[in-house]
Structure 1
Amino acid sequence: VFGVAGLLKSAFKDDYPNKLKKEFDYLKAKYGLRYIDSFLWKFSKTRPDNFPTIRLAQFAALITKSVHLFSKIIEIDDEKSLKLLFSNLEVNPYWENHYVFEQVQERKRKQIGEGSVDILLINTVAPLLYLYGKELDKDVYLQRADKLLLGLKAEKNMVTNKFAELGIRANSSFESQALLQMKNNYCNQKKCLNCSIGIKILKA
């Protein structure tokens, strides 16, 4: 994961990144793997717990923990079990006192928080279920995607906060996603007169 992410191109002193680098070099030669430019990862203005290195470590833990992850996602039909699938991920102990390679920090467990799990379900699992249902023409997966979004709390971000100031509050992630979609496809495109909510706001 770190190799393809372009984060193993430096010379390291620590054993852990050197081990990763050695493994990646072998796999790269064997399978012709490519890596992206490391500058694409954004560390500035980001909380350390959200650093790309930490998220990649958690992703690696998820892959290790969840064999046949896609199959599990489409088989599980309740929100609680889906949340458990992405919770309690044990990252490599190296990351307990690192946020980036070779910079020791105060020891802290790097687990995905409940809010981050919800974001994963909203932005990854629900769309995946919906697309899978569309491709197979099976309404059961479309309904599960809707049910999942309706059961999760509404996202709180600049867009939903602005709508709330205007008196339009999302009661679930289904509604907050709808507001984001409306913002992108109507507000940003200045199609207020094509939107019933836009017309209502203009008349207020």
Structure 2
Amino acid sequence: MFKEDFLHYIWKYKLFSTENLRTTLQETVVIINSGDHNFNSGSDFFNAKLNIGDQLWAGNVEIHIKSSDWYVHGHEKDSNYDNTILHVVWQHDVDVHRKDNSVIPTLELKNYTQKDILDNYHQLFSSQDKWINCENDIKDVGKFQLTNWLERLYIERLEEKSKLIEQLLVSSKNDWEAVLFKMLAKNFGLKVNGDAFFNLANKLDYTIVRKQSNNLISLEALLFGQANLLADEIQDPYYINLQNEYSFLKSKFKLSHQIVTPFQFFRLRPNNFPTIRIAQLAVLFNKHQSLFSEIVSITDIQEMYKLFNISLASFWKTHYSFTSQSKMSSKKLSKSFIDLLLINTIIPLKFIYLKSIGKLNESEILEAIRQLKPEVNGIINKFDQLQISSKSALESQALLQLKNSYCIKQRCLECVVGKYLIGK
């Protein structure tokens, strides 16, 4: 069979013959407006306008697989359903009544729906052992349709990312610089240490970071100390200097260790060691003490790359940790790492900020993300095998949204691809 949401889909998009519609009591039905789809409690469609018989009706439409589902759901006892002007069902098995015992006109859709629509639906949802339901057919969707859908998916992804940022704005009393610091810290930790970095930044009062940002050794000491990475006995002048500075800051600002997520070094490439990433984060906020203001004013991606062109203190040019020495290297932020920061922090934050002040231009956001290379991961590789390739970070981000928010959740009826395949 099928689920009730398929009937919602058929009614919403009128995927049935609308000529000569009649109720189960043979009254003519003319659809003027099928109504607004309601995804919350209450009738399935609000504010519909229908001609039933010789009468114009305005009200709600309720949809069920069988007419008797009206009683299964207890609608006959609920006055909220008294404004139902049409009961749309697949199979009519019993007359239904409102709370006042008046009969509700019923339309049986199976008499008006084309067989092709049902066959396409069953073919899409009866897939067995497939990565996504449409994997054999997604390549057949028109380029224009798919391009527009991916753009919408990317904007949707930005909207979802805004939820965390909005929470941080509330907790920081709309301090955009503080939110940027927390979001960047999270992304500096990448997947393995992201939670630990975010915990470090979120537990640390940003006003203290701001006060120490003009002194690199103080800022380094603050971050390394709060990360509990200055507790060892290491006879190195740089390390001892950090310990002494942190001891002073700890006393001055009454700091305490609140970090509950440990930092991981195991199986990480040396360039991703938390010591290196913390050192880079410190240099970045030492070099740009109003980083968010600078980011907002920049419209060119190449200027963004220059913004993140930083050089570490001399100690870190020959070390990956406080104890392990390395060959001399600048350990600058790589272009691919900066791309991740732009994708996951800078562009989303800028999107939300411009939206909040009423100056959002979506085309500029889309143009910016198109200039970045796509991520490389298992999901993007699998779509590439299905002949849906990513030419930029816009496509890769959109495909991640598609897979995680639609394909996995079987939301094919809300997806442009699913709609095309069912309606073709």
Match of 2:263 in 1: 41
1:115 paired to 2:341: no
In the TM superposition, what whole-angstrom CA distance separates every residue of 1:56-78 from its partner, at most 9, and x where no partner exists? 11111111211211110001111
Distance 1:143 1:35 in 2: 44
Shift of 1:192: 4.7
Distance 1:59 1:104 in 2: 20
Match of 1:183 among 397, 403, 407: 403
In the TM superposition, what whole-angstrom CA distance separates every residue of 1:134-189 from its partner, at most 9, and x where no partner exists? 2223214x554332112212111222112111211112111111112222212343
Match of 1:13 in 2: 235
Shift of 1:198: 6.3
Match of 1:100 among 301, 304, 321: 321
Equivalent residue of 1:40, what SS?
coil
Shift of 1:95: 1.0
For the 8 Å contact 2:224–2:230, the answer to whether it is kept is yes
- Residues 191, 129 of structure 1: CA spacing in aligned structure 2 closer, same or farther, 3 A cutoff? same
For the 8 Å contact 1:6–1:36, the answer to whether it is kept is no
In the TM superposition, what whole-angstrom CA distance separates every residue of 1:108-133 from its partner, at most 9, and x where no partner exists? 22111111111111111101101112
Distance 1:189 1:4 in 2: 40
User: What is the RMSD of the two structures over their aligned residues, measured on CA atoms?
Assistant: 2.3
- The structure with the largest alpha-carbon Rg is 2
For the 8 Å contact 1:53–1:99, the answer to whether it is kept is yes
Residue type of the alignment partner of 1:20:
L
For the 8 Å contact 2:226–2:259, the answer to whether it is kept is no
Residue type of the alignment partner of 1:162:
K
Match of 1:129 among 332, 350, 356: 350
Task: Report how many aligned residue pairs link the two structures.
Answer: 200
Distance 2:255 2:366 in 1: 37
In proportion to residue count, which structure has more strand?
2
- Residues 196, 42 of structure 1: CA spacing in aligned structure 2 closer, same or farther, 3 A cutoff? farther
For the 8 Å contact 1:186–1:192, the answer to whether it is kept is yes
Q: Where in structure 2 are the equivalents of 1:43-192 lying within 5 Å?
A: 43-87=265-309, 89-140=310-361, 142-192=362-412
Distance 1:26 1:144 in 2: 46
Match of 1:3 in 2: 225
Residue type of the alignment partner of 2:390:
A
Distance 2:296 2:342 in 1: 12
TM-score scaled by length of structure 2: 0.44
Match of 2:171 in 1: none
For the 8 Å contact 1:14–1:102, the answer to whether it is kept is no
For the 8 Å contact 1:149–1:173, the answer to whether it is kept is yes
Distance 1:131 1:100 in 2: 36
Distance 2:265 2:409 in 1: 31
Equivalent residue of 1:2, what SS?
helix
Q: Which runs of 5+ in 2 are unaligned?
A: 1-222
For the 8 Å contact 1:126–1:146, the answer to whether it is kept is no
Shift of 1:10: 2.1
Shift of 1:93: 0.9
Distance 1:134 1:78 in 2: 19
Shift of 1:199: 7.8
Match of 1:30 in 2: 252
Equivalent residue of 2:388, what SS?
coil
For the 8 Å contact 1:129–1:144, the answer to whether it is kept is no
- Residues 120, 58 of structure 1: CA spacing in aligned structure 2 closer, same or farther, 3 A cutoff? same
Shift of 1:105: 2.5
In proportion to residue count, which structure has more helix?
1
- Residues 37, 11 of structure 1: CA spacing in aligned structure 2 closer, same or farther, 3 A cutoff? farther
Distance 1:159 1:11 in 2: 45
Distance 2:412 2:270 in 1: 39
Q: Which runs of 5+ in 1 are unaligned?
A: none
